[in-house]
């Protein structure tokens, strides 16, 4: 009888991205965005589509605003990068990308714990209003799909985004 070597179970995409992102932050590498697909330091997961739903890799998409908020050129870009930060449970980015007057500093530990406890299934941008590169205010209506335990949940929200210190930040839910 032929025996095969034991293989490790494949990690889910979220965990691979989280491991990759955590490693990059630990290295504090300023040039990781310049890696090519042939660079051996990039795990295969970095070449898969970004969790935000665009058909770009994480490295070519949300990793850029995660490294520098100014790389979110539109309110939608910031919304997508915030969704990806939720999938990575990146509380630091979530705080940094939140307007200083509405930033939930005291609740961040709870937000991160919750973000880790759910399974993120996808982001759907329903519509945007304003929020282009030249605008000062923007609105993004979105649906974040997730699973809490065995229950599928759809978070349907209307976010208000504004410019603060020259870059886009999340302000609050639009009324």
This prediction's pTM: 0.75
pLDDT in tens, 35-71: 333 333 334 456 778 999 999 999 999 999 999 999 9
Interhelix angle 75-88/13-27, nearest 10 degrees: 100
The kind and range of the H/E element at 2 are none
pLDDT in tens, 148-160: 999 999 999 999 9
Query: Which of 10 and 49 is assigned the larger pLDDT?
Result: 49
Picking from 86, 79, 62, the residue whose alpha carbon sits closest to that of residue 153 is 86
């Amino acid at each position: 009888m032929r025996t095969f070597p034991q293989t490790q179970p494949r990690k889910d995409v979220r965990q691979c991205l989280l491991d990759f992102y955590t490693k990059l932050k630990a290295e504090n590498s300023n040039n990781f965005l310049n890696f090519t697909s042939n660079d051996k330091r990039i795990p295969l997961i970095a070449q898969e589509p970004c969790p935000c739903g665009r058909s770009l890799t994480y490295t070519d998409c949300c990793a850029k605003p995660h490294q520098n908020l100014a790389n979110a050129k539109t309110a939608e870009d910031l919304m997508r990068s915030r969704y990806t930060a939720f999938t990575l449970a990146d509380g630091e980015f979530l705080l940094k990308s939140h307007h200083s007057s509405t930033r939930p500093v005291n609740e961040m530990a709870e937000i991160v714990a919750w973000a880790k406890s759910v399974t993120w299934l996808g982001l759907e941008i329903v519509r945007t209003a304003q929020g282009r590169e030249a605008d000062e205010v923007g609105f993004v209506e979105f649906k974040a799909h997730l699973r809490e335990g065995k229950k599928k949940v759809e978070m349907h929200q209307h976010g208000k985004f504004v410019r603060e210190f020259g870059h886009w930040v999340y302000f609050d839910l639009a009324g």
